[in-house]
């Protein structure tokens, strides 16, 4: 059989189908076979050639959804916003993306896989930290922020939001997660970054309310 000359096309097909099924049926109710059944003749072996597991597919779906609707890129060149306003708007845009927040909630169980958890943390550090640092430094320059810790906060934010706020890693009920997020807001404000406002707290608390209770 001829080798696939365009493996990236196959990967995109797999991710297209997986994303649709995860959103329609839920990650837990979707099997690798379900994905194969919607791939117009591709075999299960073809799927496993590109992805070792359903968890890897979910991880790739999440990365692709972020890239396709990157909130930091949407605010990056807006001349009507200062650095602080861009940071707030990026968070609001991210939390208002229902498909992505739905997928984020569904992906919580896969973070119990240590390898995928490490990959997620590394990906967030590599991708999100530069965006945070750029806007924090912009805020310092335009006077909307006053912090000596732009680099450190830029490294800390993805770590706290992707690890510390995960109930699968640091067990907490919904009220506990809300309290931790309020702590995060207070901590940032004391470091010269008053990032959280009422609209952000409301969106994040609504997100926590949608999370299933930990068993």
Q: Chain centroid to CA 61: how far?
A: 11
Tokens standing for residue 148: 């000596």
- Check residue 147 and give its pLDDT: 98
φ and ψ at 12, to 5 degrees?
Answer: -65, -40
- Check residue 215 and give its pLDDT: 54
pLDDT of 1 strictly over 90? no
- In sequence order, what DSSP letters do the residues of 6-48 get, joined into one string? -HHHHHHHHHHHHHHHHHHH-STT--HHHHHHTSTT--HHHHH
- Check residue 214 and give its pLDDT: 61
* Spans of all domains in the chain: 7-54, 69-210
Cβ-in-10-Å burial (0-12, 13-18, 19+) of 94 comes to buried
Of 19 and 112, more confident:
19
Q: How far apart are CA 204 and CA 65, in angstroms?
A: 19
Confidence at 97, pLDDT banded by 50, 70, 90: very high
Has domain 69-210 been given CATH number 1.20.1740?
no
- Residues in CB range of 59: below 8 A, 6 or more apart: 107, 110, 116, 119, 120
Place of tokens 């901590």: 187
- Residues in CB range of 144: below 8 A, 6 or more apart: 82, 83, 84, 85
Fold classified for 7-54: Arc Repressor Mutant, subunit A (1.10.10)
Q: Over the chain, what is the mean pLDDT?
A: 91
pLDDT, average across residues 62-91: 96
- Check residue 116 and give its pLDDT: 81
Lowest mean pLDDT among 41-55, 97-111, 135-149: 97-111
pLDDT tens-digit map of 180-206: 999 999 999 999 999 999 999 999 999
Confidence at 109, pLDDT banded by 50, 70, 90: confident
- Check residue 151 and give its pLDDT: 97
pLDDT of 3 strictly over 50? no
pLDDT, average across residues 94-123: 87
Lowest mean pLDDT among 28-32, 86-90, 102-106, 193-197: 102-106
Confidence at 148, pLDDT banded by 50, 70, 90: very high
pLDDT, average across residues 203-212: 92
For a pLDDT cut of 70, what percent of the chain falls above it? 96
């Amino acid at each position: 059989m001829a080798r696939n000359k365009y493996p990236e096309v196959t990967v995109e097909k797999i991710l297209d189908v997986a994303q649709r099924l995860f959103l329609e049926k839920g990650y837990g109710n979707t099997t690798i076979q379900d994905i194969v059944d919607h791939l117009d003749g591709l075999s299960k072996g073809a799927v496993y050639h590109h992805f070792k597991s359903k968890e890897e597919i979910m991880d790739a779906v999440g990365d692709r959804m972020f890239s396709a609707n990157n909130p930091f890129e949407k605010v990056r060149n807006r001349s009507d916003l200062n650095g602080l306003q861009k940071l707030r708007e990026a968070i609001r845009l991210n939390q208002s993306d229902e498909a992505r927040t739905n997928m984020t909630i569904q992906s919580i169980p896969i973070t119990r896989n240590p390898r995928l958890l490490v990959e997620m943390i590394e990906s967030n550090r590599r991708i999100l930290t530069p965006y945070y640092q750029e806007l924090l430094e912009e805020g310092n320059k335009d006077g909307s922020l006053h912090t000596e810790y732009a680099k450190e906060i830029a490294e800390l934010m993805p770590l706290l939001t992707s690890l510390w706020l995960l109930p699968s890693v640091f067990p907490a009920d919904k009220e506990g997660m809300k309290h931790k997020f309020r702590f995060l807001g207070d901590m940032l404000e004391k470091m010269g970054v008053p990032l959280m406002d009422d609209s952000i707290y409301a969106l994040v608390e609504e997100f926590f309310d949608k999370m299933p209770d930990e068993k």
